Amino acid sequence: MSSFSNIKLKSFVFSLILALVISIITYLSINFNNTYQIENISQFLFLTTVLTLVSFFFTYLYLKFFVENKIKEIYNSIIPKKDIVEENLISTNMEDLVDQLKNYSIESQTEIKSMKEKENFRRNFIGNLAHELKTPLFTSQSYLLTLIDGALKDEKVNLKYLKIAEKAIERLIFIAKDLDLITKLESDNMKLEKTSFNLISIINNVFEMLEIQAEKNNISLIIDSKKNKINVTADQEKIHQVLTNLIENSIKYGKKDGTTEISIEEILENKYLVRITDNGQGIKKEHFERLFERFYRVENSGNRSTGGSGLGLAIVKHIIDAHNEKIYVESDYGIGSEFSFSIEKSN
């Protein structure tokens, strides 16, 4: 039923009820006074019909020319002029105007909610970025100032202080590079260059890169696959970055004498699932929703001793999303974690 017919129907029902009430009151009043009696049902129906038509006429006129004009005034004052098409407004009936106002209200509430979320994200991002930059900046500044004030001539500490300052600056470079990368991933400047390549070879390459880091805590790096070749189709450089970030995190938060194991299993006819599993400290469930936010850390202490930019998982998420694939997290606190992602098979 159209909006125009809907408002007419409502007006008619209201008029009919009003006419019935008036007819009954009139019938009872006339018969009670015995001045004139309504002798049969046809007279009663005639009276009701006349009253219904009169009520309907005046009710509809009131709704059409008074209420609708008020709604139009509200419509014009609320809806931005750029969103109003004059021809449509002139021919729009009251019900449509009310629907448009409701839709606009819902859209406005959604937009306001989105703006609040973006504002909260911006505020958190700036706060986290400032926190990440503050430590290496202050560290490098304090040690350099100490050297300038005379420690440079002290051979016992000058080289040590320079190395500490260099590490702090290296941390800043990590942050700058990762910020640049994640900005490119979010824009159209970074295009995926998909090729077919051997995933096992990429994993071995990442293991070689992180071998020294793993040996510091005696963490074993294992590939759980009997195959020497598993071909996939993706951007090789980006998947290398994903594996590097995930395996590096596994080593950082793994326990001493632990393991980081990579397994690859077929989940669909054209998909593999790559699992990175460790037996480290694990992650509490409350952190899962925010794990892939920029600079979000699960340590309650806010400890930055493990280094890195704090953008690793955010970069991983963007790369996997860009491939139209999925990333998953499973973890038991105190037992270990597993990060996994899907990837397309090579034909």
Mean pLDDT of 59-74: 67
Q: What is the mean pLDDT of residues 292-317?
A: 67
Range with the lowest mean pLDDT among 124-133, 237-246, 252-261, 285-294? Answer: 124-133
The whole-number average pLDDT for the span 54-67 is 69
With a threshold of 0.85, does the pTM exceed it?
A: no
Q: What is the pLDDT of residue 88?
A: 47
pLDDT at 300 over 60: no
Instruction: Give percent of the chain above pLDDT 90.
Output: 19
Q: Which pLDDT does position 204 carry in this prediction?
A: 92
Out of 92-96, 235-239, 255-259, 290-294, pick the least confident. 92-96
Mean pLDDT lowest among 2-6, 52-56, 306-310: 2-6
Q: Burial, 336: exposed, middle or buried (Cβ in 10 Å; 0-12, 13-18, 19+)? A: buried
- In CATH terms, is domain 109-186 a member of 1.20.200.10? no
pLDDT tier at 333, thresholds 50, 70, 90: confident
- How many angstroms separate the CA atoms of 107 and 124, rounded? 25
Residue type, 110: T
Q: How many residues does the chain have?
A: 347
When pLDDT is cut at 50, 70 and 90, the band that residue 90 belongs to is very low
CATH superfamily name and code, 194-345: Histidine kinase-like ATPase, C-terminal domain (3.30.565.10)
Check residue 2 and give its pLDDT: 47
pLDDT given for residue 142 in this prediction: 87
**Residue ranges of domains in the chain:** 3-92, 109-186, 194-345
Confidence of residue 262 (pLDDT cuts 50, 70, 90): very high
Give me the half-sphere count of Cα atoms (radius 13 Å) on the Cβ side of residue 298. Answer: 19
